[in-house]
Amino acid sequence: MQYHEAKLLASAAERNQWPDSTLPELIFAGRSNAGKSTLINGLVNRKNLAFAGKTPGKTRLLNFFTVDGRIVFTDAPGYGYATSDKASAVQFSRLIDPYFRERKQLKGMVIVLDARRKPNEDDIAMVEYARAAKIGILAAFTKTDKLSRSAMIQNRNAAADILGINRNAFVPCSSVSRQGYEELWEKINQLAQQDL
């Protein structure tokens, strides 16, 4: 297991709270409870860097973490916890719109998808944000310990079709077995090194 130095750089509700950094940045986005925070913790081998397993939908901020002094991970609030809740949808887009439009060092998005669930409208909208920003897209397909390999592959292929993402951009991941973390790191590093 590789050692990574990671620390919280900033929590931002507004643009003026974004950290002043020139490091390449990747945003982790996904539905509430998909496993974003757990994945970030797993990638950096920390139990509680990102706030995992709290009441879903409670984190309303962009949380910026520096990793090894060379890359920034941004943990986005989970979306779609209460799809009927218009106010939180508006709040979410107010937070995320300017970030995708203006964050110059943003190199890619890791969309975190629960391997047991079909991507929904919110996931499609998230992929559209990344496309509009012309950044790379990776899909972390989480909780693979909870389904068989054949079911995982079937769900991955369906999810790839729904989202219009190449199957090769999907990385099956599990916080239980640490499946996928090394592969995801390789792909993250490739994205981070890419010139925009």
* Interacting residue ranges for ligand GTP, rule: CB under 6 A: 30, 32-38, 52-53, 56-57, 59, 78, 112, 142-143, 145-146, 174-176
- In three-state secondary structure terms, 108 is strand
Q: Which does 142 bind (CB under 5 to 8 A by kind): ligand GTP, Mg ion, none?
A: ligand GTP
C-beta closer to ligand GTP: residue 176 or 196: 176
Tokens 């929904």, located at residue: 120
Min dist CB 51 to Mg ion, Å, is 6
Give the separation between CA 113 and CA 110, rounded to whole angstroms. 9
Site string for Mg ion, 17-46 (x = CB under 5 A): -------------------xx---------
The most distant pair of C-alpha atoms in the chain lies apart, rounded to whole Å, by: 46
Between 36 and 107, CB nearer to Mg ion: 36
Q: Which is nearer to ligand GTP, 16 or 55 (CB)?
A: 55
Element of type H or E holding 96:
helix 86-102
Residue 77 Cβ vs Mg ion, minimum distance, rounded to whole Å: 8
Cβ 176 to ligand GTP, closest distance in Å?
A: 5
Pairing relation of β-strands 25-30 and 106-114?
parallel
Closest-approach residue to ligand GTP (CB): 78
CB of 92 to Mg ion, least distance (A): 13
Q: Own/partner pairs for 155-158, CB < 8 Å, 24+ apart?
A: 155/115, 155/116, 155/118, 156/115, 158/118
Residue placing its CB nearer to ligand GTP in the complex, 30 or 136: 30
Q: Whose CA is closest to 77, among 32, 130, 16?
A: 32
Q: Which residue number, 29 or 160, has a Cβ lying nearer to Mg ion?
A: 29
CB of 141 to ligand GTP, least distance (A): 10
In 10 A of CB 51, how many CB atoms? 15
Number of amino acids touching Mg ion (CB under 5 A): 2
AA letter at 48: N
C-alpha closest to that of 39 among 187, 195, 161: 187
Binding site for Mg ion (CB under 5 A): 36-37
